[in-house]
Every structure is written in C-alpha cells, then in structure tokens.
Amino acid sequence: MQKPVTVRKKSFWIRVRRYWQIYLMMLPGLVLVLLFAYLPMAGLTMCFNDFNPILGIRGFWESEWVGFKWFEKFIDSFYFGRIMRNTLLINLAKLVCGFWVPIVFALLLNEERNVFFKKTVQTVSYMPYFISWVVTIALMDAIFSPTMGLVNNLRVAKGLSSIYFMGEQQYFYPMIIGSSIWKGFGWSSIIYLAAISGINTDMYEAAVIDGCGRLKQAWYITLPTIRPLIVMMLLLNIGGLLNSDFQQMFCYIGTNSSLYSIGDVIDTYVYRVGLTEFQLSFGAAVGLFRGVIALVLLAGSNWLVKRAGEDGLF
Amino acid sequence: MVIQKSGKRVFFNWVIRIILLAAGLVTLLPFLYVVALSLLSEQEFTSRGLVIPSRPTLDNYVMFLKWGTKIKDAYGATFFITIAGTAIALFATALLAYGIARQDLPGRKLINNLLVFTMFFGGGMIPTYMVIKSLGLLNTYWAIILPGALSVWNTMLMRTFFKQLPVELEESAVLDGASDFCIAFKIMFPLSKAAFATIGLFYAVGYWNEWYSALLYLNDAKMYPLQMALRDIITTNAAALDATKMASGIMQNRMPPSAVVKMTAIIFSVGPILLVYPFVQKYFVQGVMVGSLKG
C-alpha cells in the first residue's frame, strides 16, 4: 500500500521520463498533427496581413499587417450575400430533407425479421459511402444525362423530350440533396441501428402486453430511447451548416457556369479566389470567417440543447 | 380479432419489406446501369432505349485499356498512394492511439484535447496549401499521403479498440519487466488485428478515392491518380459535351462516341473497391459500432 503513494509523489518530469518509449511511439502521429493541422492554424495570421508568398512560411508572420481588411472586403463584396445564402440554403435543405432518412431506415431495418434480406439491403445501402464524389457524380450523369441517361431514355421512349437535369437550375436542389442522401443514408443508419439493437427488449414486451402496435412501439419506445444520439447527430450537423461539401459541389458544377449563381458556396469560392486567382490572404480570410461561424453555431446549439435538458456534445 | 391482427401484421411486414427493397434497388440501380452500358457495343448503344445488352461485349474494356499510358500511370500512382499511405497512416495512427489509450500516461488529456480540437476547427484550405508548399511537398505524392495520414477520427476509433483489451495484460507484462515497446508490439498490437484491418481499410478507401489533394497540390496532369484522371474523362467532358449537344439539338439521334467508354472508366475506378467490398464490409461496420460505443 505504500508504493502507490510514493509513485504519486514523484515529480511530473520523473513520471514523464518513465514513459519515454510511449512518447517516442506517439511522435510520428503528433508531428503529422502539428504539421498539417496546427501549423495551418498558426498560418491563419495570413488573414490579417498581406501575405507575401515569396517569404514562404515566414510570410505568415513577416508580411505587412493590414488588420481586418480582407474580412471587410469579403463582407462588402458582391459575392458575400450570394455564397452565404447558397451555403446556408443548401445545407439547411440537406438537413431538413436528409437528416431523418437514416433514422427511418434504421427503424425499418429493425422491423425486418428475415435476416438474409436485411443483411443484403444493409450491405447494398452502405456501398455508396465508399465511392468518391467524382464517381458519384459520374453515376448521376449516367442516370440523368440527356444523351444516354436512363431517365431520359425512358422519357424519350414515352414520347417526351429530354431534360438536362444536371444543367438546369430548377433541378439543382433535388439533384444535390438526392445525391447526398443516396451516398450517406445507409452508412449513417449504422450508428442508429447499433443504438436501437442495444435497447432492452423487456420494454417492448411490456408494451405489447399493454396493446401497443409496432408503430406505437417505435414512437413511444425506440425513438425516445435513441433521442440522445439523435440530438448529438443533429448538433454535429448544425456545426457543419457552413461546411458545404466542396467535393460534391466542385464535381457537380464543374465548368457549368449557369449553376454558379445558386451553386457557388463558401468552399468553392475560397478555392477559386485563393488557388486559381491567388488572392491568398483574402481566400484564407473567407475560410476563417466560415470556420469561426461554424464553431459559434456548434457551441450555440450545444448550449441550447443543454438548456433544454439534453446531453450536449461537450 | 386475433386473425385480423395477424393479417394487419403481415400487411405491415410487406410494406416495410417493399420500402427496404426500393431503398436497396435505388442504391444499386446506377451501378447496374453503368455495368449494362459498359457491356453494350457501340452500335447497340446508338439504338437508344436498350438497357440490357443483347450481345454483351468486352470491346469497351479493351478499348479503354488501349487508351495508352495515361490510365496505366494513373493506376500506378493510385496504387502507390494507397499502399504507402495506408502503411504510414496505420503506423502513425496505431502508435498515437496506443499512447492516448494508456490511462496512466502523463499529459494524455492534453494530447487528447489537442486532437479533438482539430475535428472542429482547422486552418482551412489556403493556409494548409501554403504549409504544404513551404514544406516542398507540392507536386509530390507526399502532399497527398502525409496530410491524410493521421485522421483524428480513426485515431479515436483505434483508441477505443485498445481500451477494450484487458488492462491485466499490460499490468502483468510490466511485472515481467517488459518495456513499453515490447508491450505495444508484442502484446497489444497482435491482439488487435481486427482493429488494424478496420482502420487500415478506412485509410485504404480514403486514399483510393483521393482526388481533392491531387487537385490542390499536383500541377502536373501526368502525375494524376486514378480519380483525377477519371474526373477528366467522365465529369467535365460529359457536362460540356451534353451542353453543346443540347444546344445544337443533335443529341436526339447521335450519341457522343465515348459514352460507353466513359461507363467503362467508371467501372475501372470503382471496380476494385466494389470487388473487395462485400468481403470486408463487416470490418467497416465494426468500426462504426466501436465508435458509437465511445460516445
């Protein structure tokens, strides 16, 4: 009983030395995090200066300071309203149309008693998660293209005219939201399914005795039980309201300039001004603007949820 | 009463089954359609409306492979990125995860918080680009491999795996005088083969699908990995072609000649993933399950 006490009394540095092998093992990973996560964060200083790329990494600190010039430029610019609106609308639409889909899918899967059928549907539904956006958009093109697409083939066979679904503004939202759901609903359902399968079956048995049908069981037992998980996923989604999916938008819009006005979002804008027009500081500032608002959104909704008596994320 | 109830139940079961079947079909349909198109001969394709090839042919595949060195180089690049990347990522991730899984490690909380913070905030596209440029990684495959080699999410998954191993193993090894290296490499890691498989697969799929870093950090089109090369073939061209065809009104009766080859290109890029997918998907699911236990 004496020994643990003396161990605890040892100074911090002696304890650190005892673990040198572990620190050494962690070193490669930590170096990667510092280089590719924290060094860019330190580089956010470039949002407040006129970054001089010739100075290289020293330019983060040694360029001429300009204060909030880039933020003001962004807020005053013609693009500000447009890309903020697009980003928020697209993400809100995705949230409203897509958030519940994996939950319902998980509930339905949970009701299916034929194990083979259930497993097959599950396996198939996870598949799109593992293909890139490049391929996903290409698959959409195969289905919706006016020249070879399945949908237009059927339309033409019925005597209707072809529609360029992926090129016209009026189909933009359904296409973007649909492809997001298609790609993610199966995969997102796993976590709900795991939570549902952990529910104590006694509750269902009691409910059956009380005369509850399966809809009522789902509504009064399953959903309330997994509510903390639903709230957590919702929080994460709200935190990501400004994280438009760059890969999706970039692949979908491609060079189709007729979609810019409704499909241009913060991330594609940052890419365009920062890396194709080389307004480096300006691009970085727009990126930081997004990052900070996302953080505020997450913290804000977390606070609200906690006030409502639920478990927050942190 | 009883009969009525069971009748209702049977009906309910079928409604559920039909919805699930529809969900499965909607997911599968694009893949099936692309496969069907890729097996069409050029002539058959031009007589539109045909979905199921009457005489399947592998001509498109042969044609696609004859496209010269571009595709071969792209495959080479992707294989290198995937194999080297997964090896490096697994190494760094497992060792870091093992460290933060050790309850007794001084500074464990701090390191953990440093990692978690990066999940909610980052430097963003431009500062990251400047860092990679300053490190001299532009136009090398390391610019694709290294920034992706430490996913915090995967590290947390791995940590959870390690934490599930009995602590007694560690304790008895310490009593036997084993070093920390020895405990990690000879005891803990061999017991975590499933974890290594899961996380390794996550990384491998990520690297295989990687094109975003290639877009940002590679200027030389000759270096493009598979997804970027295919993006050139299947997305940009398709959209541009369709637009011009629509405008000139000729698309009603004449198809772009490369359309079926494009379908073949899609198959070449997803084929390897879809081929191994059914056999490894249980590992992926396991990964998410472990992750959800943590919360």
Q: What is the ipTM of this complex?
A: 0.86
pLDDT at B249 over 60: no
A44 contacts B230? CB cut-off 8 A: no
* A41, A108, A111, A130: best to mutate for the B interface, most B CBs within 10 A: A130
Which of B190, B175, B172 has the alpha carbon at shortest distance from B98? B190
Q: How confident is the model at residue A7 (pLDDT cuts 50, 70, 90)?
A: low
pLDDT band at A180 (very low <50, low <70, confident <90, very high): very high
Residue in the block written with tokens 């339309």: A155
Please give the Cα distance from B229 to B221 (Å, whole number).
Answer: 8
Highest mean pLDDT range out of A15-24, A29-38, B38-47, B103-112?
Answer: A29-38
B 89-108 residues inside an 8 A Cβ radius of A: 91-93, 95-100, 102, 105-107
| A96 reaches B (C-beta below 8 A) | no
- Of chain B, the end-to-end C-alpha distance in Å amounts to 45
| Cβ–Cβ below 8 Å for B29 and A298 | no
**pLDDT at site B244:** 47
Residue A32, pLDDT score? 95
DSSP B140: S
Helix axes B259-294, A133-144, angle to 10 degrees: 130
Asked whether the predicted pLDDT for residue B100 surpasses 80, the reply is yes
Put simply, the answer to whether B125 touches A25 (Cβ < 8 Å) is no
CA distance A11 to B232: 60
Residue of A nearest to B12 (CA): A214
Nearest to B61 by CA among B80, B78, B77, B37: B37
How far apart CA A143 and CA A150 sit, in angstroms, is: 5
Cα–Cα distance measured from residue A101 to residue A104, given in angstroms and rounded to the nearest whole number: 5
Question: Smallest CA–CA separation between A245 and chain B, in Å?
Answer: 12
Dihedral, CA of residue A281, residue B123, residue A263 and residue A132, to nearest 10? 130
Partner-chain contact A271 B252, CB within 8 Å: no
Those residues whose C-beta lies under 8 Å from the C-beta of residue A264, and which sit 6 or more positions away, are A79, A82, A83, A86, A253
Instruction: Calculate the average pLDDT of chain B.
Output: 81
Which string of b and e fits B243-267 if b means at least 16 CB within 10 Å? bebbeeeebeeebbebbbbbbbbbb
Nearest by Cα to B262 from B229, B213, B288, B292: B229
Of A33, A40, A125, the CB nearest to B131: A40
Q: Does A160 touch chain B (CB under 8 A)?
A: no
Distance, in Å, from the CA atom of B117 to the CA atom of A299, rounded to the nearest integer, reads 13
How much is the CA Rg of chain A, to the nearest whole Å?
26
Q: Does A116 touch chain B (CB under 8 A)?
A: no
CA distance A116 to A129: 21
A95 pLDDT higher than 80? yes
Per-residue pLDDT tens over the stretch A156-165: 878 888 888 8
Task: Please report the residues numbered 205 through 244 in chain A whose beta carbons come closer than 8 angstroms to any beta carbon of chain B.
Answer: 213-214, 229, 232, 239
